[in-house]
Chains A and B, each alone.
Chain A
């Protein structure tokens, strides 16, 4: 099996869940009521991915708010800030590290086990990486950025081991902040390595929307088996560099722009896949969206994923790829 399709992590929450989350935050809906709806939405997304034929699934993170805050909410030594802006009219809350980080128990494992039970296809275990957790947190406790990144790495390594013990064959550790400070790339490698050390599961790191000129030489140094990259938003401009400096690991190649309401045409996505195949052999190449789809509507996300799978199928058929 090659040229497999997958997703980056998050999917939009259906309106009934968005409404329920608002009610829950006001104390108008008990925890169990919210959880039942989170499970319903997760079931729907797993069924959708199976129905359209995605190969490596995600649970869609229906129970998570922000990707960093979710972990902050479940770690000792962390609080959650007020709202800050991300872009345009989008806002999020950030972790505030106020003491030593403590993981009282597994954070994502119960959800992963339950969701994996809904499908026979592999389901990714999803973690937010230690460098990104550090970079996106307000640090009121640790003396340096490195100290905080390594403290996050320690608790995330324990989480990854628990995911693996529960049966996860693929663990993704997102590092969207990877390119934030080019003078800290050695720290990214060190902290990510502290999470992936000793794991047998396939490890992936996802990153996006960075300026990759300086980061590029580090891609092969990242201690993971697969690099998941946003490519469409940046006009596939990294392809030329990959031709000159080959990637020595698998790549998940973003062919869907997640920040645009417009659904790509099948031909457009097909061309992007064909361009990727000029550089990467099908066995090294996975096809996915640029990033998590949670900022789109359910309808947009479904349409974009359908186009992605149909385009991949068309390319496979035309090239006889199995």
Chain B
């Protein structure tokens, strides 16, 4: 059955006063007006709300919305040895920023980065909740290097992320996704990424492991990506429009997550059109075991639009299923 998921992030505030309680709580915490525990309480109420919005829209494999993350790079790098976190840098073409990790020594996993967040989020839901980690190739690409070859840096980040995956798996995470947007900017590096994914996959145990690539196409790297030791490959088929042609000609033996709904634009997608496009791949990949999702995390949209997009994901999946 065609299923539904999200890529990871979700707007943590909306336009109503109630939806802005986390913004107010963080501001108060910064002014030392509330304690860290009080901030966590508000944060967790938003995580619950975000999970509920996904459930209500019909998303079968949700995430915690990455509500506690300031950015996808420093959120992990702060928990690794050999890294200092520096100034703000633009995050791809999203008009958001990340604090840039600076490599100052051998990179090693020191402590879990997302384990507590995943534990809490999965405690409010009986069905699986997907844990998301930033991939080693992206971490290496967006960090400021120390002069060592990129291969070495990717390898060290891969071991560090493998440590995180090991911790998640030990805590019971059954669905883990590795995000690698940077590979869309340099698909020629896919061998580097493949080695890194193999390192992570060795730690997954029985967990379902997915790799998601977004913010562009991976047409030239698709063959390698669908041969990785993973259970699912997520593709941005909106900004990565060129991947369609490669998919049609090469297909995939592993199920995919089809990022069909535009997570970067407020324009309302046409689920019928998206479903028709997906159904052109019938016979080329195990469509019935695949997922439909937004093209990337929904945090770049206003909350109300993100909610609308969740509904469009569910509607598209229903239409694809009906067409099988």
Residues of A within 8 A of B (CB): 81-89, 91, 94, 96, 135-136, 138-140, 176-177, 179-181, 209-211, 233-235, 257, 259
Contacts and interface: CB of A to CB of B under 8 A. Distances in A.
B12 interface: yes
Contacts of B70: 87-88
Nearest to A258: B88
Given A181-B93, A210-B90, 5 more contacts: A83-B14, A84-B300, A86-B96, A87-B88, A135-B93
> From DSSP, what is the main secondary structure of chain A's interface residues?
loop
B266 A140 contact: yes
B42 interface: no
Given A138-B266, A139-B265, A209-B89, A86 B95 contact: yes
Contacts of B299: 84-85
Contacts of B305: 81-82
Contact of A82 (B89, B95, B265, B304): B304
B90 A91 contact: no
A83 B86 CA distance: 26
Contacts of B13: 83, 85, 91
B173 to A, nearest CB: 26
Contacts of A86: 95-97
B95 A136 contact: yes
A234 B265 CA distance: 30
A235 B86 CA distance: 10
A138 B309 CA distance: 14
20 contacts: A81-B302, A82-B14, A82-B15, A83-B13, A83-B15, A84-B11, A85-B13, A85-B96, A87-B71, A87-B96, A87-B98, A89-B27, A135-B93, A138-B266, A139-B265, A177-B93, A179-B90, A211-B89, A233-B88, A259-B88
B23 interface: yes
Nearest to A259: B88
Contacts of B147: none
A88 B86 CA distance: 14
B149 interface: no
A114 B274 CA distance: 52
B87 A96 contact: no
B12 A85 contact: yes
Interface in B49-96: 70-71, 86-90, 92-93, 95-96
A139 B264 CA distance: 10
Interface in B20-67: 23, 26-27, 30
Which among A84, A86, A88, A139 has the greatest number of chain B C-beta atoms within 10 A? Answer: A84
B73 to A, nearest CB: 12
A87 B88 CA distance: 9
A235 B71 CA distance: 21
A180 B97 CA distance: 11
B282 interface: no
A233 B88 CA distance: 7
A257 B265 contact: no
B119 interface: no
Nearest to B94: A180
Nearest to A79: B266
B243 to A, nearest CB: 16
Contacts of A135: 93, 95
B144 to A, nearest CB: 9
Contacts of A139: 265, 267
Contacts of A81: 266, 302, 305
A197 to B, nearest CB: 26
B301 interface: yes
A177 B95 CA distance: 7
A207 B70 CA distance: 23
Contacts of B300: 84
Contacts of B267: 138-140
A83 B71 contact: no
A140 B88 CA distance: 30
B303 interface: yes
Nearest to B142: A211
Interface string B151-164: 00000000000000
A84 B266 CA distance: 12
A211 B186 CA distance: 15
Nearest to A136: B95
A91 B23 contact: yes
Nearest to B23: A89
Contacts of A233: 87-88
B302 A209 contact: no
A176 B93 CA distance: 11
Interface string B295-321: 000011111110000000000000000
